[in-house]
Amino acid sequence: MNLMGCNIGDGGSRLISTFLKTNSTLTTLSLSANKIGDIGVSYISEALKINSTISTILLTTNSQITTNGVRSILEALQFNTTLTELQLTFYETTYLSSIWHCLSSNKIAYKYRHWPKSHKLFSKKEQKIFEELMLIFIQYSIPRDLSVYFITVLFQFSISFQLN
């Protein structure tokens, strides 16, 4: 949904937050150039703690966002595992590396959550490992649902090492 330059402000952010808390289809939201400040970002951040479909939010050219607003986004990312892209015009670097780390973690988690559909997102080496595992499972007549479950558990185990 592109709401760029609609002069939404903090008040409009509150309404958008209410929508995001119940949304189950929207994946991209552009709120760039909307005079959104820390209060508006805190509303949106609260919704991000609940929302499980948004993967991209654009908040560029909202110069009223300060360290407090960025801190609320970072807090939301502790709960949100679907946001993988955040564009933000902010020049203070205190929290940006932490936000980048959370977004990177979400990108890794996305690949694992959507396997086998996301198979091509993995490196060639990882693809080969998974394909070999599937061949072994087929050779020993292990049911597909059990094979996929095993690989998913393997992913979750592997993800904990990649994120730490």
Residue type, 1: M
Query: Helix (H, G, I), strand (E, B), or coil: what is residue 88?
Result: strand
CA nearest neighbour of 44 among 19, 78, 61:
19
Q: pLDDT per residue over 92-131, tens digit each?
A: 677 888 888 889 888 877 777 777 777 787 788 888 888 8
| Mean of pLDDT values over 17-22 | 96
φ, ψ of residue 91 to 5 degrees: the values are -100, -10
Is the pLDDT reported for residue 159 higher than 70?
Answer: no
| H/E element, 85 | strand 85-88
Question: Rounded CA gap, 86 and 89, in Å?
Answer: 10
Token pair for 1: 């949904």
% residues pLDDT > 90 (the chain): 54
Q: pLDDT per residue over 70-98, tens digit each?
A: 999 999 999 998 999 999 986 667 788 88
pTM score over 0.75: no
Q: Which domains does the chain have, with CATH numbers?
A: 1-113 (3.80.10.10), 118-164 (no CATH)
Question: Rounded CA gap, 85 and 56, in Å?
Answer: 5
